[in-house]
Amino acid sequence: MKRFTCLLLPLLALLLSSCKTDYTELATYSGNKQLQAVIETPAGNTRKLVYDRKKQEFVPDQDAGQTREVDFLPYPGNLGFIPSTETDKSGKGLEILVLSERQEPGTEMEVIPVGLMQLENSGDLRHIIVAVPARPSERQLDATNYNSFSTQYPGAKAILQIWFTNYNKSAGTRFVGWRDEKFAEQEIQRWMKL
């Protein structure tokens, strides 16, 4: 019996580790044809988390070998990525910020893009899709497109612009501009894996 247990435990551990979800391989759009987001860093966090595809875990982001902590106000929304998109050779997915209550790492959400924020870091253009939950009951903001987001919540846009240009002083981030949900959709299509 003891030998059986010794063999069973490693087999069970192997089985459980193989059951992890590879969030990068989820569909970009759900069966309902809604854009999907995977949350990495919850709203209100000061520590940035990222999805490690090899480990299939959410781990603290590293900067020069140190865990990256935001030395500013906490994240104003849930930061994550759009599954089955790839913006560079490392496999990084297109970034998305979901404006809703705090969601835990690994949360998969159906969302509606309301715009796209363009930033520049050291000469590289960075696009962040800004979205709200597709389910009305989960929304904090009653906006479902760029026009309603801009007219009803100009303060939210200003806060995001200020936050993203100030949360990491060493990055030298510069705000470039806002684009509408149509431009956001084009960016999603551009970076979808074929």
- For the segment 138-142, the average pLDDT, to the nearest whole number, is 95
Q: pLDDT value at position 9?
A: 57
Q: Is 5 contained in some domain?
A: no
Q: What is the per-residue pLDDT across 148-158, written as a single tens digit (0 to 9) for each?
A: 999 999 999 99
Q: Is 11 contained in some domain?
A: no
Q: Is 33 contained in some domain?
A: yes
Query: How many CB atoms are closer than 10 A to CB 190?
Result: 11
Q: pLDDT value at position 172?
A: 87
Q: Is 63 contained in some domain?
A: yes
Q: Is 8 contained in some domain?
A: no
Q: pLDDT value at position 123?
A: 87
In which domain, by residue range, is 115 found?
20-191
> What residues does 63 pair with on adjacent strands?
66
Q: What is the per-residue pLDDT across 92-133, written as a single tens digit (0 to 9) for each?
A: 899 999 999 999 999 999 999 999 999 999 889 999 999 999
Q: pLDDT value at position 8?
A: 61
- Provide the percentage of residues in the chain whose pLDDT is more than 90: 75
Q: Is 10 contained in some domain?
A: no
Query: How many CB atoms are closer than 10 A to CB 113?
Result: 25
Question: In this structure, are residues 70 and 46 in contact, taking their beta carbons and an 8 Å threshold?
Answer: yes
Single pTM value for the model: 0.89
pLDDT at 147 over 90: yes
Q: How many structural domains does the chain have?
A: 1
**Tokens at 193, concatenated:** 């894996």
Q: Is 78 contained in some domain?
A: yes
* CATH number of the domain enclosing 29: 3.90.80.10
Q: Is 59 contained in some domain?
A: yes
